[in-house]
Amino acid sequence: MLQVFEARLFELVTGEIGSELVAGRIVMAISFREEVLEHSWYAIEWWCQRRIFIGNCYVVSLAMKIRRFPEVRSVELKWKPHFADFNLVPDGWGGYFYPWICEMARVYPLLEEIKLKRMVVTDECLELISKSFKNFKVLVLSSCEGFSTDGLAAIAANCRHCCMLFASWNLRELDLRESEVEDLSGHWLSHFPDSCTSLQSLNMSCLASEVNFSALQRLIARSPNLKTLRLNRAVPLEKLSTLLHRAPQLVELGTGAYSAEIRPNVYSNLAEAFSRCKELMGLSGFWDVVPSYLPAIYSVCSRLTSLNLSYATIQSPDVTKIVTQCPNLQSLSVLDYIEDAGLHALSLSCKDLRELRVFPSDPFVADANVSLTEQGLVAVSEGCLKLQSVLYFCRQMSNAALTTIAKNRPNLNCFRLCILEPRAPDYLTLEPLDNGFGAIVDHCKQLQRLSLSGLLTDLVFEYIGNRAKKLEMLSIAFAGDSDMGLHHVLSGCDSLRKLEIRDCPFGDKALLDNVSKLETMRSLWMSSCSVSLGACKRLSQKMPRLNVEVIDEQGDLDSRSDNSPVEKLYVYRTVAGPRLDMPSFIRNMDQNPTCRRYSLEKLFSE
């Protein structure tokens, strides 16, 4: 029965069964082939009752009741489109966790883990979580928003409540990575009761307010299993050594602000504290760095596998000095202050490097403020034989460099290049960068994720469609000449799951010629392209199992002609019909929402 499915995660298809919804382990069934579901659903249901991952929450209708599945331990939900990270998705779009948590609180009593990405989570949600699940252990809120530190206090305080009723409180992980939190005060941390000793991971780096330091210190001191601690900027450097003394077992540390007045005892305490951390493998934080304090970390450098200096506004020599002492580095995030020279040094020192991310220090300035060019990336591609994943912001690129990189590193699986100026050509030849990216998809046969930039014609999409057979996620901006570009991608990329496009001249024909492809993908985002309202309607008519959502904030969608272009389009497959929480500036193009419930009734009748 399970041979029907591949060994990797797929996406759940759930359906409305009368008034019941079955949530299995979501996964499986990129295809809507009925025979797949019919034969194997019961098998999945039996096998996969413990973990739930929903890659796009609107596959499942919020109006459905969740059938009681008492075994569910872990839920992972992702919501908004990726381009929400860059302010392209208007506020109020949707993605509210509250209705979900209400249902889950009711039917998943043994829930231990909740992991959310790009969702709107309110304090009420957090309070519900804190009261509803006696075994709750792990909360990860990645790029979420809508909650405040009051909600965090509820999570922390839950310990107190639980401890009175059960043997031990077991919050293991609280990870707020890159969420937007309304930071009312730092008092939330003080709500962890003295009996909470189970913490393994705490990431509060996205918070601004100062937490009560002695509460933090005590919490850390009584958490012998604490492996990951990411402090926020407000934790001063002078106090870091105090914390480290109480947590020498840390594996990952995110510092607070890395600056203090130059005082010898502060420095020596810090250096000594770091030297006692024999398990430390990952470092991050480093806001406001005072370079004189950097050598304090040298004792741990030889062990480091992960280093995130992407907030550290230190110049190339200082960055270089650190990275060249980290021979075991696998993952590095830096600002472009590292410059070509630093990247060259990296390529000689860090032979185990798998992932490199270089962020722009001054993205809105046209002229280069640093000496970072395509040469830095070429050097790393030559020297770091295990390099698989690249995110690189720069101001110039050439076809020659891209081709060299491709030939050097055919093992790349993620290549995201952002040339800061839209439509920038090969700076040497002034030609489009089609051939360079063509070489990337040609040589890197395992490429799963690709982000394009620079001057590109339809030709690059022809290359991608022909060659990028393992590509799952593609991001396109300011590229292409015509519909053919989009057509090449949709008709050629066999493994494509997520496609996000902005400001490209792609329009109706390519979409409507490839409608069935859209049903095999998780989602399609198109903004500021040339898609007409009429085409969206036709798409929706042709493909009843797709939600075709038009986002338009100008407020007159209902009176627009079919010829008018839409601002933003988001298309995703679903069996649940139009979602019920759309704001006024979003329309689902479905004319007949009632007659397309996928008939799974017979599969689930008991």
Residues that bind other proteins (CB under 8 A): 83, 85-88, 91-92, 96, 98, 120, 122, 124, 145-146, 178, 180, 182, 206, 208, 287, 310-311, 313, 359-366, 393, 418, 420-425, 430, 432, 451, 455, 475, 477, 481, 502-503, 505, 527-530, 553-556, 564-567
Residue closer to other proteins, measured from CB, 136 or 392: 392
Query: From the CB of 525, what's the least distance to other proteins, in Å?
Result: 12
CA distance 536 to 548: 7
User: At residue 298, what are phi and psi to the nearest 5 degrees?
Assistant: -60, -30
Q: Token digits for 26?
A: 């979501």
Q: Which of 348, 444, 453, 454 is nearest to 403 (CA)?
A: 444
Q: Which of 342, 348, 298 is nearest to 316 (CA)?
A: 342
HSE (CB half, 13 Å, CA atoms) of 510?
A: 24
Contact of 606 with 575, CB cutoff 8 Å? no
Query: From the CB of 567, what's the least distance to other proteins, in Å?
Result: 5
Residue closer to other proteins, measured from CB, 382 or 503: 503
Contact of 383 with 348, CB cutoff 8 Å? yes
Residue closer to other proteins, measured from CB, 145 or 318: 145
Query: From the CB of 523, what's the least distance to other proteins, in Å?
Result: 17
Residue closer to other proteins, measured from CB, 181 or 401: 181
Residue closer to other proteins, measured from CB, 337 or 604: 337
Contact of 341 with 372, CB cutoff 8 Å? no
Residues 6+ apart with CB under 8 A from 410: 443, 444, 445
Residue closer to other proteins, measured from CB, 86 or 165: 86
Query: From the CB of 540, what's the least distance to other proteins, in Å?
Result: 19
Query: From the CB of 191, what's the least distance to other proteins, in Å?
Result: 22
DSSP assignment of 529-577 equals SB-BHHHHHHHHHH-TTEEEEEE-TTS-GGG--TTSBPSEEEEEE-SS-
Query: From the CB of 414, what's the least distance to other proteins, in Å?
Result: 15
Instruction: Measure Cα distances from 105 to 75, 108, 126, 398 in Å.
Output: 12, 6, 11, 54
CA distance 49 to 53: 11
Query: From the CB of 96, what's the least distance to other proteins, in Å?
Result: 7
Residue closer to other proteins, measured from CB, 41 or 83: 83
Query: From the CB of 83, what's the least distance to other proteins, in Å?
Result: 7
Query: From the CB of 511, what's the least distance to other proteins, in Å?
Result: 15
Residue 5: strand, helix, or coil = coil
Residue closer to other proteins, measured from CB, 12 or 312: 312
Q: Helices 458-467 and 434-443 sit at what angle, rounded to 10 degrees?
A: 10
Query: From the CB of 155, what's the least distance to other proteins, in Å?
Result: 18
User: At residue 195, what are phi and psi to the nearest 5 degrees?
Assistant: -80, -5
Residue closer to other proteins, measured from CB, 145 or 374: 145
Residue closer to other proteins, measured from CB, 83 or 133: 83
DSSP code of 10?
Answer: -
Q: Which of 538, 545, 541, 552 is nearest to 587 (CA)?
A: 552
